[in-house]
Amino acid sequence: MKVYLDNSATSWPKPPAVLDAMSTYINEYGASPGRSGHGFAVRAAREVFETRELIASLFNVESSERVIFSANATHAINIALKGLLKKGDHVIITHMEHNSVRRPLKYLKSIGLIDVTIADCCEKGYVDIDKLTSCFRENTKLVVTIHGSNVSGAVMPIDRIGQICKAKGVLYMVDAAQTAGFIPIDMQNDSIDILVFTGHKKLYGPPGIGGLCIRNGIHIDTLIHGGTGSRSELDVHPDFYPDRLEAGTPNTLGILGLKAGIQYIIAKGIDSIRERLGQQTAFLINALKGIDEITLYGPGTSENRLPLVSMNVKKISPSQLALTLDSEYGIMTRAGLHCSPLAHQTLSTLPQGTVRFSLGCFTTDKEIDYTINALKRIITS
Amino acid sequence: MNYIILIFQSTHRTLLAEKVLLGHGIKFDIIPTPKEITSDCGMAIRINPSLTNKGMVISILNDSKIDFNLYEKWMQ
Ligand SMILES: Cc1ncc(COP(=O)(O)O)c(C=O)c1O
């Protein structure tokens, strides 16, 4: 039996409609959108346009032209941070951030551009709102927080943080790599200025596509200048969106796969997906809770959390446990730091990290049962 | 015939205009932007003035806050 429980790294399998949309594009009309006016190019451009509109309605983005496509969340975060921050700016992040936020900020700090403060989190992975509030300075330009933790599964109160930032006149950027498509996000109601998503996790698109949504009135300088299909006679890059941040031929293939993935979760119902995965996650947690050798991390089952379980087994290293699960039982998990050493500092799981079991909307109850039994056998053997 | 050609800032805005105009039941087609006009973006909206009222199109686009440039062009 093969059991894929690494959906927080990337979801698998994908809905069949994702591959269908991608192969239809490649086989039937694979032209470059927005570069010409012929039939294929117009059809491709319409598909890209509709995908932006779909994403804008999913996250309640004011203008769909401010939905920008990138290669992944990491790329989108870099576009935003490096295009927004100027010398002397101060940025606040939390102790649960992924390296995709931590490292670009560390780099900008190392070249003397900005200063960064990291707000503490409790051992479950929630940011301490009072501590976060005390981090603000005169020159604070931006707060960046993860929405759902890829390590503990904790979900941050983004609406509260958004309110605080709004009251202080500071920009708020949310890393929704783990939550977009799983927990409803409303950019306008939650006072989010920049929302980063990735296509290949809970939006069920292919790898290689992600993006950012930018509130009206905020301007981000582009890292990359080049062809956009617009204003071609000028030697300066256009300043309007989305062209401003999207030079070069876009990943139409990925965009179309993403569109089909989003349509899939909408048809299935984001709330019902979350409910079902919540039940499966709770079942897994409850089954493991009673086992003495197992330490579980993150919020309890009654809390709003991601469909993942981070754990350790006494006297077995995470990498050894993951290897045994895979080689003897065909259960694929992820061991280690999950690109988030800061988060493991919060959970006190450095330097080894944890083993993470992450569920997706194709995970079956049978697979969960099988996994629980496998863990019990490994522990007693 | 003398057609009306509408040019928008970006492909995105052209397609947004397409969506809005279709929603109002306006008849038009999408053509490659005629070279003599401008190269703002690769595609343009073409309207046949004998089928569609120009004033109505202008007011729909203005109501939707979609900026455009309007040209008239003789085409076969
Ligand atoms: C919380 C979080 N942020 C950012 C990322 C980066 O996403 P991507 O690998 O698509 O760039 C990930 C996952 O890898 C993540 O879990």
Question: CB-based contact (8 Å) between A232 and chain B?
Answer: yes
For range A17-21, the mean pLDDT: 98
Determine which of B13, B15, B45 to mutate to test the interface with A (most A C-beta atoms within 10 Å): B15
> What is the distance in A from the centroid of ligand 1 to the CA of A163?
25
Please give the ipTM for the structure prediction. 0.93
Distance CA A63, CA A50 (A): 13
For range A272-277, the mean pLDDT: 98
> What is the distance in A from the centroid of ligand 1 to the CA of A356?
15
Distance between A257 CA and the closest CA of chain B, angstroms: 19
Give Cβ neighbours of residue A186 (< 8 Å, ≥ 6 apart).
A59, A60
Among the residues of chain A, which ranges form H helices? Answer: 16-24, 39-59, 73-84, 99-110, 129-134, 158-168, 252-268, 270-289, 318-329, 341-347, 365-380
Distance CA A229, CA A66 (A): 17
Give Cβ neighbours of residue A219 (< 8 Å, ≥ 6 apart).
none
For A242, name the nearest residue in chain B, comparing CA atoms only.
Answer: B12
A14 pLDDT more than 80:
yes
For residue A37, the model assigns a pLDDT of 83
B39 pLDDT more than 70:
no
**Domain, as residue range, for B56:** 2-74
For range B5-13, the mean pLDDT: 94
For range A361-370, the mean pLDDT: 98
Distance between B23 CA and the closest CA of chain A, angstroms: 15
DSSP letter string, A170-213 = -EEEEE-TTTTTTS---TTTTT-SEEEEESSSTT---TT-EEEE
Compute the radius of gyration of chain B from its Cα atoms. Answer: 11
For residue B76, the model assigns a pLDDT of 82
Distance CA A295, CA A309 (A): 11
Give Cβ neighbours of residue A249 (< 8 Å, ≥ 6 apart).
A32, A35, A227
Least confident of A29-38, A125-134, A152-161: A29-38
Confidence class of residue A230 from pLDDT cuts 50, 70 and 90? confident
Give the CATH number for residue B55. 3.30.70.260
Taking any CB pair shorter than 8 Å as contact, residues of chain B touching chain A are 9-13, 15-16, 18-19, 30-33, 39-44
- pTM of the prediction? 0.97
Distance CA A44, CA A49 (A): 9
**DSSP-derived pairing of the beta strands B2-7 and B43-47:** antiparallel
Span A172-222, pLDDT tens digits: 999 999 999 999 999 999 999 999 999 999 999 999 999 999 999 999 999
Confidence class of residue A35 from pLDDT cuts 50, 70 and 90? confident
Give Cβ neighbours of residue A345 (< 8 Å, ≥ 6 apart).
A95
Domains of chain A plus CATH, in order, are 3-12+269-380 (3.90.1150.10), 16-267 (3.40.640.10)
Domain count within chain B: 1
> What is the distance in A from the centroid of ligand 1 to the CA of A98?
7
Distance CA A344, CA A322 (A): 18
B40 pLDDT more than 70:
no
Residues pairing with A29 in the sheet = none
CB A230 within 8 A of CB A243: yes
Take atom 12 of ligand 1 and give the residue whose Cα is closest: A177
CB contact under 8 A, A37 and B43: yes
Chain A residues close to B18, C-beta within 8 Å: 46
For range A83-91, the mean pLDDT: 98
Residue A18 burial class via C-beta count within 10 angstroms: exposed 0-12, middle 13-18, buried 19 and up: buried
For residue A318, the model assigns a pLDDT of 96
For residue A233, the model assigns a pLDDT of 80
Distance CA A345, CA A360 (A): 27
Span A305-338, pLDDT tens digits: 999 999 999 999 999 999 999 999 999 999 999 9
* Residues 126-165 of chain A whose Cβ lies under 8 A from any Cβ of chain B: none
> What is the distance in A from the centroid of ligand 1 to the CA of A182?
15
Residues pairing with A213 in the sheet = A67, A195
B41 pLDDT more than 80:
no
Distance CA B9, CA B21 (A): 17
**DSSP-derived pairing of the beta strands A89-94 and A140-146:** parallel
Phi, psi of A156 (to 5 degrees): -75, 150
Distance between A79 CA and the closest CA of chain B, angstroms: 20
For range A353-371, the mean pLDDT: 98
Phi, psi of A336 (to 5 degrees): 115, -140
Span A67-79, pLDDT tens digits: 999 999 999 999 9
CB B49 within 8 A of CB B3: yes
Ramachandran assignment for A99, one of left (phi > 0), alpha (psi -120 to 50 degrees), beta (any other) = alpha
* Residue A106, number of CB atoms within 10 A of its CB: 12
Residue A184 burial class via C-beta count within 10 angstroms: exposed 0-12, middle 13-18, buried 19 and up: middle
Instruction: Work out the mean pLDDT of chain A and round it to a whole number.
Output: 96
